[in-house]
Structure 1
Amino acid sequence: MSIIKKLASQTAIYGISSIFGRFLNYLLVPLYTYYFTAAEYGVVSEFYAYAGFFSVLLLFGFETGYFRFRDKEHAGRDVAYSTALMFVVLVNLGFFALILLVNTRLSAALNYANHPEYVLCFSLILILDAIAAIPFARLRAENRAFRFAGVKIIEIGATVLLSLFFIIYCPKVYAKNPDSWVTLVYNPSIGIGYIFIANLMASGFKFLLLAPQLSGLAWGFDRALFGRMVRYSLPMVAIGFAGIINEMLDRALLKYLLPYDVQTNMKMLGIYSACYKLSILMSLFIQAFRYAAEPFFFAYAGKSDARQVYAVVLKFFVIFCVFIFLLVTLFIDFFKYFVGDEFRAGLEVVPILLLANLCLGIYINLSIWYKLTDRTLLGALVSLTGAALTIALNVWWIPLFGYVGSAWATLACYGSMAVVSYLLGQKYYPVNYDVKRVIAYIGLGIGLYYAHGQLLPTIAWQPWLLASALMLLYVLITALFEGRQANVGTG
């Protein structure tokens, strides 16, 4: 349990930064959905969907590759770090040169011919974030969680402040006095473009904060090591790319596959994307866990009880994820106010997407088998199979069920990947996971959610009171069973 507590403490540090930072960022969702129409928010969602794909390609899997080959004994001159960083910098400089050449044609192809600055802004954001990912990986590897968290919080805080400045403050000043000083930095015709500008400025500020870590470029480039890192990392590109397909492709396809006119399709895309944000608590926890767990799994792999620890980690991970699922779904009448009234038509997808993210978290836990056994190519095949399933189901279900079909496709994909990864893991890196208890906790969460829907119209309780009672019931049941198991183990 001491090992679990150590992992939990690292997750908490990353989680505090993610939760606090993302909570600030989350406050932008009501800002966007109250100040912009669903169709306008759909434009933002579309660009973030594209950005997800390029963020994988521009990093080339070298974040995980660095974890695998980093020099622990000579941390002050870690050539694996400088090799990875130098390669990522060169790739991104080449990408920027390409964007400058094709920006006009690319913007026209995306139906944004009048706003080529959208593509340019987003390419710069992607480049700064991709290069920053390697210094962030080094901070994680060195357990410098507080430094990592501080930079992340500052970046997100800058995004929030700049968004408030451009979207609320400047328009009000401009409306009162069109000749005021804000005309130096504000043009009403840019509109939602200020969302991109605020993100770009915040990414630039983050890059400056990480400047001390960039000095590692001076440690040199090792060609032989680079070859080994490429062979290890290439499958990670496929894995990452497949992961983005599973996570973001639905928002890219809705614009084209929904059976309405373009304006209505963009409106539906905006509604779906805003409701997707309501699963943010699950995503936050999974992200925080991932930041802490990846270096932990690598570092602990050589211990005699490693597999036992991995099994316990998965169980407690699921317990907490189910708690988050219940928190959001049972109190959805509260969470719905984080999006504008026009966007609440899509609330039915929230429970589906929360369960999908839970399955994704399970898959992340189970995926240690191919990372620890260097079978990243086989892991890539699992991810690519999930991506193929995502594409097929979205193409099939979006025209039939709209964005609800996209939500079910996401759940089907992550659920299938978790099952396949478990089966392969038992062959190549067997871990005695408590499968029955994991499934039981997930079933308990779904059952309590269903009971809430059935009881709410039939009893005279206030919705918040019934939700609180069911949450308490879940906590008591899990505490009872885990306490009993602990007593059996000590006995």
Structure 2
Amino acid sequence: MSVFKKLFKQTFVYGLATALPRALAIVLVPLYVTVLGTKQYGVYASLMAFLILGNVLLSYGMETAFFRFVNKHVEQKKLVQSTALTSLTVSTVLFLTITLLVNDSLANFLEFKAEYVTYGLLILALDALAVLPFVWYRANEKPMKYAVIKIFNVCVNLGLNLFFFLVLPGWAENTPDSFWTTIYSEENKVAYVFIANLIASAITLVVLFPLYIKIGFGFSKIIWKGMFKYAFPVLIAGIAFSINEAFDKILLKYLLPENIAEAEVGVYAACYKLGVFMTLFATAFRLGIEPFFFNHAESKNAKQTYATITKYFTIFGSIILLFVIVYVDVFKRILIPESEYWGALSIVPLILLANLFLGIYHNLSVWYKVTDRTKFGAYISVFGAIVTLGLNFLLIPLISYQGSAIATLAAYGSMMLLSYFFGQRNYAVPYDIKRIGGYLLLASGFSVLSFYVFERDLIIGNVLLLVFLLLVFFSEKKEFGSILKR
């Protein structure tokens, strides 16, 4: 099997495992926006933004370090695995113990109900304890087991959400003196979102527990120091990334007037979900590509392979960008059926393009990962975080969530460009810049025409999409055909 076919197979399986959690998010958006309303949906979105940062802090770059050290120290593979597992387990238990002791103070500081913060802390801990087992599956190229457990988690979460929002209210109403009445709250429905997530995370960890026994606990101070040294820049990059990914919702909550803040966060977060198609594609690709990059770093044609992969990622990403823009009015009625949210639709092209830039950045980041220069990832991500924070602080008071969307696009675009320029100096990859840039510019230009100039006219949008697809087909059919024959 050629490296491209193997990559496609793994990416497809990881994509399936990634698609279903994202599909859960998509399926539940219409339910959430209808049942919760803009304010409670805003509470959900802003607390989940904090959880994104928490996930990064609790894994502290060990995921990437695990990949690198397992491949770099094959003779000590078992000790590397047990050291990483021990490190993450101990740090997670300490985190949960300390934060639960100060839960009320933390809730007051963050301006959330203490109940919500408790749920969030427990979810963070359970998800952190599941990190190493899932990484183990990826590092040992067992995508099917990875996918099955991820899909199981999705099914549990989805089932619980449907129960809490569609079944429980009826049971509570029809049996007023029953157990169901005591656990149902009409005014606090957002709590059920966190409870469903918490139960699903707990059950998933139980399913993964046999890997704890298989990997075992052990610790090497020398290996841990090396892993942490490698992981620390990844941690800094992860913190910066979480700022880029989630702090827009947090800053909207605190920078806008209190009487509109939660509703504005809810509207913005709901329309942000329309960018899930690009996020899904980029995330699935990254999950498949990261072990691939490390495993083929020493191959003779590694750089050319990386260049080809990046070009085709850009092509498929550009098609997704234009497709979603053309059919955005169809998607909005399916995913966000409540018209009170549609005022934020103008952010969708910006968010889609931003996530495409982020996906390209992840492809370009191969240079600092395979050369052990992860500090550059930290530098680039910190720069992106500075752009995110600076523009959000500047623009939110002026143009609300529009400023957040602009900040996201500027941050990911600048990170993409910086990674390319630094990479070409330190690990030159022969990217086809002419075609990659051409596809990006053309897809972006057609998107602007379809969405802003022709105001989402479906006929004109379809013509633009067809023209783009034909240009890609005639430009790439020879090379794409040769790849399929390998």
Q: TM-score range by the shorter chain?
A: over 0.9
Superposed displacement of residue 451, structure 1 = 3.6
1:348 is paired with a residue whose SS is helix
- What is the alpha-carbon distance in structure 1 between the residues aligned to residue 194 and residue 259 of structure 2? 21
Indicate conservation of the 8 Å contact 2:14/2:287, yes or no. yes
* Structure 1 equivalent of residue 462 of structure 2: 468
Distance in 2 (CA, whole Å) between partners of 1:202 and 1:358 is 30
- Does the CA-based 8 Å contact 1:66-1:81 persist in structure 2? yes
Contact 1:77/1:216 (<8 A) preserved = no
Partner of residue 220, structure 1: 218
SS in 1 for 2:102: helix
The corresponding residue for 1:241 is 239
Q: Which amino acid aligns with 1:343?
A: Y
Structure 1 gap ranges (5+)? none
Query: d(CA) in 1 for partners of 2:311 and 2:193?
Result: 39
Q: Deviation at 1:450?
A: 3.3
| 8 Å contact kept, 1:39–1:263 | no
How many angstroms does 1:447 deviate by?
2.5
How many residue pairs align between the two structures?
482
- In structure 2, the residue corresponding to 1:78 is in which secondary structure? helix
Alignment of 1:372-383 (within 5 A): 372-383=370-381
* Residue 293 of structure 1: how far off its partner (Å): 0.4
Aligned residue in 1 for 2:472: 478
Q: CA deviation at 1:383?
A: 1.0
CA distance in 1, matches of 2:75, 2:31: 44
Structure 1 residues 82 and 445: CA distance shift in structure 2, 3 A: same
Instruction: Give 1:125-274 correspondences, 5 Å limit.
Output: 125-183=123-181, 185-218=183-216, 220-258=218-256, 260=257, 262-274=258-270
Deviations 1:224-261 (A, max 9, x none): 11111011011110010010011111111001222x3x
CA distance 1:118–1:463, change in 2 (3 Å): same
Q: Return the letter of the residue paired with 2:241.
A: G
* Paired letter, 2:13: I
Q: Is the 8 A contact 1:369 1:429 kept in 2?
A: yes
Q: Which amino acid aligns with 2:33?
A: T
Say if 2:78 and 2:215, in contact at 8 Å, map to a contact too: no
SS at match of 1:79: helix
Q: Is the 8 A contact 2:60 2:232 kept in 1?
A: yes
Which letter does structure 2 place at the counterpart of 1:311?
A
Letter in 2 for 1:442: L
1:343 matches 2:337: no
Partner of 1:308: 304
**Deviation at residue 108 of structure 1 after TM alignment:** 1.7
CA contact (8 A) 1:107 1:119 kept: yes
Matches within 5 A, 1:324-363: 324-337=320-333, 338-339=335-336, 340-363=338-361
Residue pair 1:254, 1:265 contacting (<8 A) in 2 also: yes
CA distance in 2, matches of 1:379, 1:473: 37
- Is 1:417 aligned to residue 415 of structure 2? yes
Shift of 1:104: 1.0
Native 8 Å contact 2:20 2:154 kept in 1: no
SS in 2 for 1:433: coil
What whole-Å deviation, never above 9, does each CA across 1:323-355 have from its counterpart, x for those lacking one? 111111100111112112211110000000000
CA drift of 1:367 comes to 0.7
Amino acid at match of 2:444: I
Aligned partners of 1:86 and 1:217 also within 8 Å: no
In structure 2, give the amino acid aligned to 1:482. E
Summarize deviations over 1:10-66 as a string: whole Å, max 9, x none.
111111222233213311111100111111111001111111111111111100010
* Offset of residue 72 of structure 1: 8.3
Following TM superposition, by how much is the alpha carbon of 1:208 offset from its aligned partner in structure 2, in angstroms?
1.1
1:111: how far off? 2.4
Aligned partner of 1:105 in structure 2 is: 105
2:127 is matched by which residue type in structure 1? D
The answer to whether residue 428 in structure 2 is matched with residue 430 in structure 1 is: yes
Q: Distance in 2 between matches of 1:453 and 1:254?
A: 25
- Taking a change above 3 Å as real, the CA distance of residues 47 and 486 of structure 1, as seen in their structure-2 partners, is closer
Whole-Å separation in 1 of the counterparts to 2:178 and 2:361: 54
Residues 84 and 226, structure 1, Cα contact 8 Å, conserved in 2: yes
Q: Distance in 1 between matches of 2:421 and 2:401?
A: 31
Shift of 1:187: 3.8
**Structure 2 counterpart of 1:369, which letter?**
W
Counterpart of 1:285 in structure 2 is 281
Using the TM superposition, give the Cα deviation of residue 455 of structure 1 relative to its aligned residue in structure 2, in angstroms.
7.9
CA contact 1:71–1:80 (8 Å) conserved in 2: no
Q: Distance in 2 between matches of 1:350 and 1:454?
A: 11
Aligned residue number for residue 365 of structure 1: 363
Match of 1:8 in 2: 8
Report whether the alignment pairs 1:321 with 2:321.
no
Cα distance change of structure 1 residues 129 and 487 upon mapping to structure 2, 3 Å threshold: closer
> 1:391 maps to what in 2?
389
Which SS does the other structure have where 1:347 is aligned? helix
Kept after mapping to 2: 8 A contact 1:81/1:216: no
Amino acid in structure 1 at the alignment position of 2:476: E
So what's the TM-score if we normalise by structure 1?
0.94
Q: CA deviation at 1:369?
A: 1.0
Q: Tell me the amino acid that sits aligned with residue 150 of structure 1.
A: V
CA contact under 8 A between 1:61 and 1:237: conserved in structure 2? yes
Look up the SS of the partner of 1:143 in the other structure: coil
Correspondence for 1:123: 121
Distance in 1 of aligned mates of 2:241 and 2:46: 17
Which sits farther off after the overlay, 375-384 or 224-233?
375-384
**What is the distance in 2 between the residues matched to 1:294 and 1:280?**
21
Tell me if the contact between 1:71 and 1:78 (Cα under 8 Å) persists in the aligned partners: no
User: Partners of 1:189 and 1:331 in 2: how far apart?
Assistant: 35
CA contact (8 A) 1:77 1:219 kept: no
How far the C-alpha of 1:99 sits from its partner, in A, is 1.4
> How far apart are 1:315 and its partner, in Å?
0.3
Query: Which residue identity is paired with 1:84?
Result: A
Of 91-100 and 478-487, deviating more is 478-487
| TM-score, length-scaled by structure 2 | 0.95
| CA-CA distance at 1:76 after TM superposition | 11
**Cα deviation per residue 1:129-184 (whole Å; 9 max; x = unaligned)?**
11111111110011111111111111111111101111221112212332234235
Deviation at 1:74, TM superposition (A): 6.6
| 3-state SS, counterpart of residue 190 of structure 1 | coil
Is the contact between residue 353 and residue 411 of structure 1 (CA under 8 Å) also seen in structure 2? Answer: yes
Distance 1:390 1:329 in 2: 24
Measure, in 1, the Cα distance between the counterparts of 2:481 and 2:248. 46
Identical aligned pairs, as a percentage?
40
